[in-house]
């Protein structure tokens, strides 16, 4: 396997992605709706391919194996050879190193069947993984690629686990909605990385909210206020020989076209919980925010704080805040307010008090266990629409804050022309960074 140099002449456009996806689907055919369980013929094995071999992708592959018996990792794909080498090395290491999202040390190298021949490099690696005989694909690339990768996986009749968020702009959200609807017709499972929906304390809390324990829902609050992400190893200092595009891809978190900004990439977790509790998406968003300390070019063009007021169809109002900064108060939580009390994942205060005291394992493993159980039972879960709507809510908040305008759900779904995918073809070479958004100057499109 040859490493791709920074000077590679590969060019990738959305048209090329969609053309290859459609051609692959035509060549392979498609699954008929109601076909029943879909996995390796003649066995209960689930053959899994990983697309996106960064830390989260590697962790998700481990989560998948640990969640259920009979799971094998058989193929890997990434734009960069070194990412594949690192991921494969970690997965093949049975030495018992603990990955943060796993319930136990990793000792399951026996479940990793991927070889150098089933590791694929390049912008088309996702299609090669899909075509390699897998039953399930894990999509863990930067979010900008999620819509096209999901479309290709569903076209090929594959079950999907996809990390959140699932898009960075309205065009991408609508693509995910279409793919999710097609997956439902084909009897394919889609589970998203919004793991709170698979976490015991959240499931119990939402059950109590929906049965009326806190009365009529009036609104809520949600927060992801935490330290800056450079502490997590996200920031990769630019190296000699890296082109503009390689630098951006290796630091995808800091570029809106790749990550959607941290309100979309991270805070979507909290927004998703409020959508879940209220049973729908917001009808509008009014946001503010800015970039106070992320002033250097190494931080791309994303902001460092947002505050958004979401209003829901039933009249409920939700205050949403997210910030990434050191030496500040930290809180990551969601609060649902009703006429008879308020609820969070820790418990309920009010007329029907409750405190979570149960046991729960890793929700990062539970989401995979639920996915695989649904495949084997022939009753595939499909979380595509709910995660797409939560992603769109977060995008609305960002669009409002970036422009200084109120953003309506109906408008963003039906009239917005915002498309962050680069107009030029993707190639390793010069790749200018769009300017940082300025409210009142950045236009709502």
Q: Residues 387, 252, 363, 398: is their CA dihedral positive or negative?
A: negative
In a domain, 223, yes or no: yes
Q: Is 49 in the same domain as 162?
A: yes
Q: Is 258 in the same domain as 394?
A: yes
Q: Is 191 in the same domain as 85?
A: yes
Selection from 230, 306, 316 nearest residue 267 by Cα: 306
In a domain, 153, yes or no: yes
Please give the C-alpha separations between residue 5 and each of 55, 121, 424, 428, in angstroms, as whole numbers: 22, 11, 20, 9
Q: Residues 437, 438, 441, 445: is their CA dihedral positive or negative?
A: positive
C-beta neighbour count of 208 within 10 angstroms: 17
Strand order in the sheet with 71-78: 119-121, 71-78, 46-51, 136-139, 159-162, 190-192
CA 418 to chain centre: 20
Q: Is 262 in the same domain as 397?
A: yes
Tokens of 23: 């051609």
Q: Is 275 in the same domain as 235?
A: yes
Task: Give 7-15 contacts, CB < 8 A, sequence gap 24+.
Answer: 7/243, 7/428, 7/429, 8/427, 8/428, 9/427, 9/428, 10/122, 10/123, 10/426, 10/427, 10/428, 11/425, 11/426, 11/427, 12/123, 12/124, 12/425, 12/426, 12/427, 13/425, 13/426, 14/148, 14/421
Max intra-chain CA distance, the chain: 65
Q: Is 124 in the same domain as 177?
A: yes
At 369, is the secondary structure helix, strand, or coil? helix
CATH number of the domain residue 87 falls in? 3.40.50.720
Strand duo 136-139 + 159-162: pairing: parallel
**What is the C-alpha separation between 269 and 393, in angstroms, rounded?**
11
Q: Is 108 in the same domain as 248?
A: no
Q: What angle do CA 168, 171, 175 make, to 5 degrees?
A: 100
Sequential pLDDT tens for the chain (445 residues): 332 233 333 334 544 444 444 344 433 333 333 334 445 444 689 999 999 999 999 999 999 999 999 999 999 999 999 999 999 999 999 999 999 999 999 999 999 999 999 999 999 999 999 999 999 999 999 999 999 999 999 999 999 999 999 999 999 999 999 999 999 999 999 999 999 999 999 999 999 999 999 999 999 999 999 987 655 567 899 999 999 999 999 999 999 999 999 999 999 999 999 999 999 999 999 999 999 989 889 999 999 999 999 999 999 999 999 999 988 999 999 999 999 999 999 999 999 999 999 889 999 999 999 999 999 999 999 999 999 999 999 999 999 999 999 999 999 999 999 999 998 889 899 999 999 999 999 999 9
Strand duo 341-344 + 347-350: pairing: antiparallel
Tokens of 433: 């960074």
Locus of tokens 């009529």 = 216
In a domain, 41, yes or no: yes
Locus of tokens 């439902």 = 184
CATH number of the domain residue 209 falls in? 3.30.360.10
Q: Residues 235, 389, 21, 52: is their CA dihedral positive or negative?
A: positive
Task: Give 6-10 contacts, CB < 8 A, sequence gap 24+.
Answer: 6/241, 6/242, 6/243, 6/246, 6/428, 7/243, 7/428, 7/429, 8/427, 8/428, 9/427, 9/428, 10/122, 10/123, 10/426, 10/427, 10/428
- Domain total of the chain: 2
Domain that holds residue 261: 200-358+390-414
At 341, is the secondary structure helix, strand, or coil? strand
Q: Is 44 in the same domain as 187?
A: yes
At 235, is the secondary structure helix, strand, or coil? coil
Q: Is 166 in the same domain as 300?
A: no
In a domain, 300, yes or no: yes
In a domain, 22, yes or no: yes
Answer for the pair 101, 61: CB distance below 8 angstroms, yes or no: no
Q: Where are the alpha helices (DSSP H) in 240-383?
A: 244-250, 256-259, 262-265, 268-278, 363-376
> Torsion over CA of 254, 255, 259 and 264, rounded to 10 degrees?
80
Answer for the pair 78, 124: CB distance below 8 angstroms, yes or no: no
- The confidence score (pLDDT) of residue 231 equals 53
Selection from 118, 165, 136 nearest residue 40 by Cα: 136
In a domain, 444, yes or no: no
At 134, is the secondary structure helix, strand, or coil? coil
Q: Is 161 in the same domain as 288?
A: no
CA 3 to chain centre: 27
Q: Is 77 in the same domain as 191?
A: yes
In a domain, 423, yes or no: no
3-state secondary structure 313-327: CCCCEEEEEEEECCC
Q: Is 285 in the same domain as 177?
A: no
In a domain, 99, yes or no: yes
User: Which DSSP string corresponds to 160-222?
Assistant: EEEPSP--SSHHHHHHHHHHHHHHHHHT--EEES-GGGG-HHHHHHHHHHHTTTT-SEEEEEE
């Amino acid at each position: 396997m040859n490493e791709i140099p920074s000077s590679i002449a590969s060019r990738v456009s959305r048209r090329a992605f969609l053309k290859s996806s459609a051609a692959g689907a035509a060549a392979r055919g498609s699954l008929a709706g109601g076909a029943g369980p879909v996995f390796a013929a003649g066995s209960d094995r689930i053959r899994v391919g990983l697309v996106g071999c960064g830390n989260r992708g590697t962790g998700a592959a481990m989560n998948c194996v640990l969640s259920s018996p009979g799971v094998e990792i058989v193929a890997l794909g990434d734009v960069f050879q070194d990412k594949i080498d690192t991921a494969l090395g970690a997965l093949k290491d049975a030495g018992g190193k603990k990955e943060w999202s796993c319930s136990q040390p990793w000792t399951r190298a026996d479940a990793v069947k991927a070889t150098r021949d089933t590791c694929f490099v390049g912008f088309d690696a996702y299609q090669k993984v899909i075509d390699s005989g897998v039953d399930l694909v894990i999509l863990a690339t930067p979010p900008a690629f999620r819509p096209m990768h999901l479309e290709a996986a569903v076209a090929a009749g594959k079950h999907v686990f996809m990390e959140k968020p699932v898009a960075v702009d309205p065009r991408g959200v609508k693509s995910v909605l279409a793919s999710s609807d097609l997956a439902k017709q084909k009897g394919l499972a889609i589970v998203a990385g919004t793991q709170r929906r698979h976490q015991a304390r959240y499931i119990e809390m939402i059950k109590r909210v929906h049965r009326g324990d806190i009365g009529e829902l009036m609104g809520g609050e949600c927060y992801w206020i935490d330290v800056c992400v450079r502490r997590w190893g996200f920031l990769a200092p630019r190296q000699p020989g890296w082109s503009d595009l390689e630098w951006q891809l290796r630091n995808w978190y800091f570029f809106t076209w790749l990550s959607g900004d941290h309100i979309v990439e991270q805070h979507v977790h909290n927004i998703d919980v409020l959508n879940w509790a209220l049973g729908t998406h917001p009808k509008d968003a009014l946001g503010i925010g800015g970039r106070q300390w992320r002033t250097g070019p190494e931080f791309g063009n994303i902001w460092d704080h947002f505050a958004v007021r979401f209003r829901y169809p039933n009249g409920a109002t939700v205050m949403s805040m997210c910030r990434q900064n050191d030496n500040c108060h930290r809180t990551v939580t969601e609060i649902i307010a009703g006429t008879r009390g308020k609820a969070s994942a820790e418990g309920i205060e009010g007329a029907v008090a409750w405190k979570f005291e149960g046991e729960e394992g890793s929700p990062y493993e539970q989401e995979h266990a639920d996915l695989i159980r649904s495949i084997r039972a022939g009753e595939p879960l499909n979380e595509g629409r709910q995660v797409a709507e939560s992603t769109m809510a977060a995008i609305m908040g960002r669009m409002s804050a970036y422009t200084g305008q109120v953003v309506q759900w109906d408008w963003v779904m039906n009239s917005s022309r915002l498309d962050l995918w680069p107009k030029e073809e993707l190639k390793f070479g010069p790749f200018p960074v769009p300017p940082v958004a300025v409210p009142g100057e950045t236009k709502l499109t």
